[in-house]
Structure 1
Amino acid sequence: MGLRYTPPTVGALRHRKTLNIPYNKKAILIKNTLDYFIKAPDLKAVSGTFPFSFFSFSEEGIDTSQFQFTSNLMLGKQAEACFEYVLKHAKRYKLLTANIQIQGETQTLGELDYLIYDTETQKTLHIELACKFYLFDDSLGAVPEAKWIGPNRKDTLQEKLDKVKEKQFPLLYKPETADFLKDLHLDIATIEQQICIKSFLFLPKDFDKEKLPRQYQECVVGTYISFSKFDTEKSNDAQFAIPDKKQWLLPPESLTEWFSFSETKEKIASLVTNKKSPLVYKKQKGILEKFFVVWW
């Protein structure tokens, strides 16, 4: 089967805003940012309801010299930029095309995230990418997937997996997709579908993560507390950072603005009043903690 490489065209990546830091430090940060994303936990939330195959990067050195961190883009687009760069520079994979919009007669039916060729397995893969920050709420639903919800309680892991199962994966088999695949000389019967979920999971403080299934334990990176409990974090020798959502994929060491407890509490108070749950980094005596302060 012949495979034709088509460079991806992602409109959102045309205008990039790079980080305003000295060149030598920027080169280190770029590498660290890519490493931070690649090494971020991959959630393999397989179950009877969601019997997916999951994609993870194999370990190999990636040339970071041409990468630009797109700090002006939304979090999801930043993840796409990192993911595409690695695919395009990996030895194992060939990126065939990305962000393919499938058009119906009157409207766009949806988008296929990535089609790649795995030179090791000699398989063509359709990959759907997600980059999610979820908090565990045991009161939600009866199944594990329903208990993980966004910091501002707007979406759940179950809703995301339902979307992949009911909309994103079936899009590959729509008649409207067939012509596109034909242009790439791809046989739909040979394409394997996988999902990559870069996941950052947070538990209530003092919750025992051993109670969770192992695939969730491996993705836990921090905790969360209510604003009313934030005073328990008070310390004269601690510093705090409150990264904007567009900075959530940056390594913590890249952040330049750190505040005292009182300054941080004032900033968080303003955010939770507007029903926004900030991500907070706390560093003290060489130890870094990550946690959300939730408004709910």
Structure 2
Amino acid sequence: MNNTQKQFLGFYETNHLFNNLNNLKQFDFEEIDLSNLQIDKLEINQKLPLGKRVELFFEHYLFLSKRYNLIKKNIQIIYNKKTLGEIDFIIFDNKEKCFKHIELVYKYYLYDISFEKELDRYIGPNKDDTLVKKLDKLKHKQLPLLFNEKTKAYLEDIDFNNIKQEICFKANIYVPFYKKSLDIHFKENIRGFYIGYNEFKNDQYFKSCEYFMPHRYDWVDFNPPKSSYISFEEILPHLDFFINHKKSPLLWIKEKNKIFQIFILF
């Protein structure tokens, strides 16, 4: 199985973050036949960022699905040379017999218990993204764009009297390494842990472990690598590079017969 197949399956198997939240309805991500992925139809440039890869994975899911048909994708709404926004996907649901506007979201969140409210606790690993901000953007900017008068010119063949809006929101959650027992709302989405860089360097536990740093493209792959692990001393220079650039890298850690994921925070 090549990397693209592993990445697609990782995307496919990632849990939805919620069913319905803040009046946002989740897309019905039905199971498909995975015996013939036809992955050769996925043409992915090696330098394509993770977000764009995920869009192609969702498009390929629609291609393999018997229920959904892709109508339009990545529709930029431009008026007076100004981009008002982008519609991710317009599809047709053969089961419900209607068009659907789908906004696709694929996220990595750290669960920060220092915040009082549950929804405030989900923060991106580089601290520049939060669940609350994303939900607000979806509700007040991305979804309303469909009904902007300027949008209709781009969707002339769509029946606006027969269209629904849904979110395909998949997410991976990482919890504090030293607090493994937490009353977290989205338990099914937990993928691993996180720890501060200084704590990581000073904890004796980690010095006897082995490490593999996946490329960001491969974060979506659920399968731990079988080889190419390096020692604690060997991983430190790689971590220093990312920490100095204020980026939080993801690691696979192998400790005896146990393998798990962890974000190292700058």
TM more than 0.5: yes
Match of 2:249 among 250, 261, 278: 278
Q: Quote the Cα distance in structure 2 between the aligned partners of 1:203 and 1:249.
A: 17
Question: Can you list the C-alpha shifts for 1:113-147, whole angstroms capped at 9, x where unaligned?
Answer: 0011111222211110111111111224x532222
Match of 2:82 among 97, 100, 107: 107
Q: Quote the Cα distance in structure 2 between the aligned partners of 1:120 and 1:89.
A: 15
Asked whether the 8 Å contact 1:129–1:196 carries over to 2, the reply is yes
Match of 1:161 among 132, 135, 143: 135
SS at match of 2:150: helix
Match of 2:37 among 41, 45, 64: 64
Match of 1:291 among 248, 262, 265: 262
Asked whether the 8 Å contact 1:70–1:81 carries over to 2, the reply is no
1:83-162 equivalence runs, <5 A: 83-140=58-115, 142-162=116-136
When residues 275 and 32 of structure 1 are mapped into structure 2, their CA distance, relative to the original with a 3 A threshold, is closer
Q: Please report how far the alpha carbon of residue 30 of structure 1 lies from its aligned counterpart in structure 2 after TM superposition.
A: 3.6
Q: Quote the Cα distance in structure 2 between the aligned partners of 1:234 and 1:210.
A: 22
Q: TM-score, normalised by structure 1?
A: 0.81
Partner letter of residue 175 of structure 1? E
Q: Which ranges in structure 2 are unaligned for 5 or more consecutive residues?
A: none
Partner letter of residue 93 of structure 2? D
Asked whether the 8 Å contact 1:139–1:147 carries over to 2, the reply is yes
Q: Quote the Cα distance in structure 2 between the aligned partners of 1:190 and 1:96.
A: 14
Q: Please report how far the alpha carbon of residue 292 of structure 1 lies from its aligned counterpart in structure 2 after TM superposition.
A: 0.5
Corresponding residue for residue 242 of structure 1:
213
SS at match of 1:171: helix
Partner letter of residue 207 of structure 1? K
Corresponding residue for residue 172 of structure 2:
200
Q: Please report how far the alpha carbon of residue 209 of structure 1 lies from its aligned counterpart in structure 2 after TM superposition.
A: 5.2
Question: Can you list the C-alpha shifts for 1:82-110, whole angstroms capped at 9, x where unaligned?
Answer: 11111122111100110011121231111
> What is the percentage of aligned positions where both structures have the same residue?
31
1:251-262 equivalence runs, <5 A: 251-253=222-224, 257-262=228-233
Corresponding residue for residue 55 of structure 1:
27
Asked whether the 8 Å contact 1:240–1:281 carries over to 2, the reply is yes
Q: TM-score, normalised by structure 2?
A: 0.89
Q: Quote the Cα distance in structure 1 between the aligned partners of 2:178 and 2:75.
A: 44
Partner letter of residue 211 of structure 1? D
Q: Please report how far the alpha carbon of residue 286 of structure 1 lies from its aligned counterpart in structure 2 after TM superposition.
A: 3.7
Q: Quote the Cα distance in structure 1 between the aligned partners of 2:103 and 2:214.
A: 27
Corresponding residue for residue 197 of structure 2:
227
The alignment's C-alpha RMSD in Å is 2.1
Q: Quote the Cα distance in structure 1 between the aligned partners of 2:99 and 2:161.
A: 10
When residues 178 and 255 of structure 1 are mapped into structure 2, their CA distance, relative to the original with a 3 A threshold, is farther
Q: Quote the Cα distance in structure 2 between the aligned partners of 1:259 and 1:208.
A: 25
Moved more, 192-201 or 248-257: 248-257
Q: Which ranges in structure 1 are unaligned for 5 or more consecutive residues?
A: 1-24
Q: Quote the Cα distance in structure 1 between the aligned partners of 2:168 and 2:95.
A: 18
Asked whether the 8 Å contact 2:101–2:165 carries over to 1, the reply is yes
When residues 56 and 263 of structure 1 are mapped into structure 2, their CA distance, relative to the original with a 3 A threshold, is farther
Partner letter of residue 120 of structure 1? K
Q: Please report how far the alpha carbon of residue 241 of structure 1 lies from its aligned counterpart in structure 2 after TM superposition.
A: 1.0
When residues 205 and 157 of structure 1 are mapped into structure 2, their CA distance, relative to the original with a 3 A threshold, is same
Asked whether the 8 Å contact 1:71–1:78 carries over to 2, the reply is no
Asked whether the 8 Å contact 2:72–2:89 carries over to 1, the reply is yes
When residues 254 and 234 of structure 1 are mapped into structure 2, their CA distance, relative to the original with a 3 A threshold, is closer
Q: Please report how far the alpha carbon of residue 207 of structure 1 lies from its aligned counterpart in structure 2 after TM superposition.
A: 2.6
Q: Please report how far the alpha carbon of residue 228 of structure 1 lies from its aligned counterpart in structure 2 after TM superposition.
A: 1.9
Q: Please report how far the alpha carbon of residue 227 of structure 1 lies from its aligned counterpart in structure 2 after TM superposition.
A: 1.2
